[in-house]
Chains A and B, each alone.
Chain A
Amino acid sequence: MSLSELANLDVTSVSKSSEPMQRAPATIYVITHEDILRSGVTSVPEALRLAPNLLITQTSSSAYTISARGLGGNPAAQNFSNKLLILIDGRSVYTPLFSGIYSDTLDVMLEDIDRIEVISGVGATLWGANAMNGVINIITRPSYLTQGTYVDAGAGNQEQLGGVRYGGRLGPDTTARVYGFDFHRGAMELPDGSTAHDGWNKGQGGFRSDWSTDQDSLTAQGDVYRGTEQVPDNSDGLIAGGNLLARYQHRTLHSELQVQAYFDQMERFGAAGDGGFVVQTYDLQLQQSIDAGTANRIIWGGGERVYKYGITNTASLLFEPPDHALTLGNAFVQDTMKLADQAALTVGVKFEDDPFAGWTPLPDARLSIGMGEHAALWAAASRAIRSPTPFDDEVVEKLGAVTELAANSGFRPEEVMGYELGARAQPNSEVSLSAAFFYDVYDDLRTIELGAQPPYLPLYWGNLMRGDIAGLDAWGNFQVQDWWRLSPGFTWVRQRLSFKPGASRILGLAQAGNDPSSHASLTSSMSFARRTSFDATLRYVGALPDPGLPHYYEIDARFGWQASPALDLSLGGANLLHARHYEAPASYGEQITRSVIAEARWRF
């Protein structure tokens, strides 16, 4: 084809995620590599604060609660944030024991992250149960994009960190990288200024190799980590783990096949006498997407996951049985139909075989309509569940010889039916806007119920709460000048929950989620001459209802200077407005301390 023929070709299919107008019929915010490096964050949970559709609550030096669209849990009522999935390169990192996330196991070499896709809303058809309120995909760069040596080192009042990564070529079609990092994050402070004794250290290392030809690619990657965490008035706790993942893809012009398998082990032991657990996960997934004719794209697939765990019980909290193997199977199919030039309908369903609840259908329908070049509307209706866990079905709590809480094998899945209506617009190259209204109808939310007769012990977990949550996720980008961008974000959530007839009403409605009714942020990104930059984010989090906590404002900022093409120097700070502030009530959160850090990054 000649140059002039090329110049006259119509191009309509878009495959790059950096395309200015995302047409995805879902609430997706993408945190880019650039965003992460410029913001100066030093951990994945802190990086997640960059997504306006997530609420991140730090409760100690090592612990964060991550939630979206309400129902973020209430640790004071033994209800943990458990309605969100997180995947790192396709590997699920939630714990099957209570469906929550251990935020101290999320670490990834930040330099190697390509992007973090944050989807708020129901995403169960693709990602399975527990993707009730959102899915977070942390995606690292293939090793052919992380060639060469990278070294970083940082020191500040709250943390010290260092890391090295080296990427090289193993053959004409094969590249690989290895990395290692280590950090210490200091303890928070109690109101009287003494230490909260919750500091921690962690070391992690790993590799990724990628082999690719025109039609096939094979990725193998793995990580190991080990850390110690201080526990007030006791010996240190231990976290350790590792994983190994392989993924094969075969692409032809009109189809793509992917097979992925991984093994993951997580160990976690509290201080002396606090118990602990080891969980091993084996996962195999297969999926294929096929272009059927010119107007349909079908994806189907299935997978099987096996969890094996062993728990060291304590005198007051016992899992019965303490050793168990759980299997989780699924099969799904989804079709995206092109209805008209600018309209597409996606319908799909996943059937998931849960160890406690059996087969459950998770259907989903999404419609997207382009409004010319610069705007799009979309709507979605989908169902998800939060599947029962050993913590719901098999846990027993004791106070001395008295059994306070008994296992309830009749615990049902928590359910949501979610409806969304979204719009995106990019009226010109300086402005982009995105907004999504959501209305989620919940049933069978977890409650605590009374035993049959006085003294009504033992208690047990029930499903006697329901309600609806309405709200808005909105954000925008404004390129004020060539060198200055402003990015506001806002989430509003209105929860309307009620107990069902017969409920004990113990622990109140806020046991489902001690959530603020709104949170907001404003990020300013400035790039100056002489390769300097200044980035700052102001965030606002509304008051928490029960246990109560006033609203707060905080600022994170970073000043960066590219001293040479190979060397970046920076000065960053987190939570700069207050020497200490609470993000969670004192019953389950420490005061979070202001931190500043000087950092250097070399690439050669």
Chain B
Amino acid sequence: MGILCVQLLAVTWCLDPAPAAADYSQDAVKAAYLFRFAGYVDWPGGADPTKPFVIAVVDSPAVARELRRLVQGHQINNRFVAVLEANRVSDADRPAILFVGGGHAELLRPALPALAAESTLVVTEEDGGLDEGATLNLLTLDHRVRFEVSLTSAHRAHLKISAELLSVAVRVTGAGRS
């Protein structure tokens, strides 16, 4: 919980000294990915343009905060964007994108069938995230945030991943790879 960390401890210690102006926080970059992914993924069926495009964040308030900052006034596929925070996967109400904070991907398993049926794009940020059923998994490699893709999971959720996204991924796994 970044906020409390700042208030009680990090005032001095948790945080490194002020970042140089050109540096970006991991949380901000992850939020930017979550916002950008939508442009490279096709959801099945026609979306109701009157309903918001929901990005749910489980157990990562810092990413949620950055994401809220980012989506203000922006639209995805001509829909307004709503960022929801949930403390459990099952609480997230049919989001288009579900992001599960580090260390919690194992919570996904019981919810996977429902998530696939709703064509939710599941994104994790830990080693083994794809094995737990995520379609995209963010990794921090050499000070950069990168991602890997599971086409098996994408196929199961009837999501079409664009070639451009695949070309940036550090790893692509699963059936359906051409």
Contact = CB atoms under 8 A, between A and B. Distances in A.
Interface of A: 1-4, 6-18, 22-26, 28, 34, 87, 90, 114-115, 117, 126, 137, 139, 141-142, 144-148, 167, 212, 214, 217, 247, 249, 254, 256, 258, 287, 289, 291-297, 299, 334, 336-338, 344, 346, 348, 366, 429, 565, 603
A465 B63 CA distance: 52
A18 to B, nearest CB: 6
Contacts of B26: 11, 13-16
5 contacts: A4-B168, A6-B36, A10-B143, A148-B87, A336-B17
A123 B127 CA distance: 35
Interface of B: 1-27, 29, 32-33, 36-37, 40, 59-62, 65, 68-69, 72, 85-88, 90-91, 102-103, 110-111, 127, 140, 143-147, 164-165, 168
A504 to B, nearest CB: 42
Contact of B85 (A4, A145, A291, A292): A145
B87 A147 contact: yes
A141 to B, nearest CB: 7
Contacts of B86: 147
Contacts of B72: 214
Contact of A344 (B3, B8, B17, B110): B17
B8 A12 contact: no
Contacts of A22: 14
Contact of A214 (B12, B18, B65): B65
Contacts of B3: 142, 217, 249
Contacts of B164: 3
Contact of A338 (B2, B18, B22, B111): B18
Nearest to A117: B9
Given A9-B29, A11-B145, A289-B11, A114 B4 contact: yes
B85 A15 contact: no
B34 to A, nearest CB: 11
Contacts of B11: 126, 287, 289, 299, 334
Interface centre among A11, A18, A87 (most CB of B within 10 A): A11
B2 A12 contact: no
Contacts of A167: 87
A165 to B, nearest CB: 11
B7 A429 contact: no
Contacts of B16: 12-14, 23, 338, 344
B144 A296 contact: no
A295 B87 CA distance: 36
Nearest to B146: A7
Given A142-B1, A299-B11, A6 B33 contact: yes
B133 to A, nearest CB: 14
Contact of A144 (B7, B61, B69): B61
Contacts of B146: 7
B9 A24 contact: yes
B18 A291 contact: yes
Question: Closest 6 CB pairs between A and B?
Answer: A338-B17, A13-B19, A291-B18, A24-B13, A565-B110, A145-B87
A142 B2 CA distance: 11
Contact of A139 (B8, B140, B143): B8
Contacts of A429: 127
A333 to B, nearest CB: 11
Contacts of B110: 565
Given A90-B7, A289-B11, A299-B12, A11 B90 contact: no
Contacts of B15: 13-15, 297, 336
A296 B17 contact: yes
Contacts of B2: 15-17
Interface centre among A90, A142, A348 (most CB of B within 10 A): A142
B17 A297 contact: yes
Given A114-B4, A214-B68, A603-B88, A137 B18 contact: no
B8 A11 contact: no
A66 to B, nearest CB: 18
Contacts of A565: 90, 110-111
B69 A214 contact: yes
A566 to B, nearest CB: 8
B165 A3 contact: yes
Contacts of A87: 8
A450 to B, nearest CB: 44
Contacts of B111: 565
Contacts of A126: 11-12
Contacts of B21: 294
A297 B37 CA distance: 34
Contacts of B9: 24, 28, 117, 137
A297 B16 CA distance: 9
Nearest to B107: A565
A294 B20 contact: yes
Nearest to A249: B7
A11 B23 contact: yes
Given A139-B1, A603-B88, A346 B13 contact: yes
A9 B117 CA distance: 34
A144 B87 contact: yes
B172 to A, nearest CB: 14
A10 B144 CA distance: 5
Nearest to A378: B13
B18 A3 contact: no
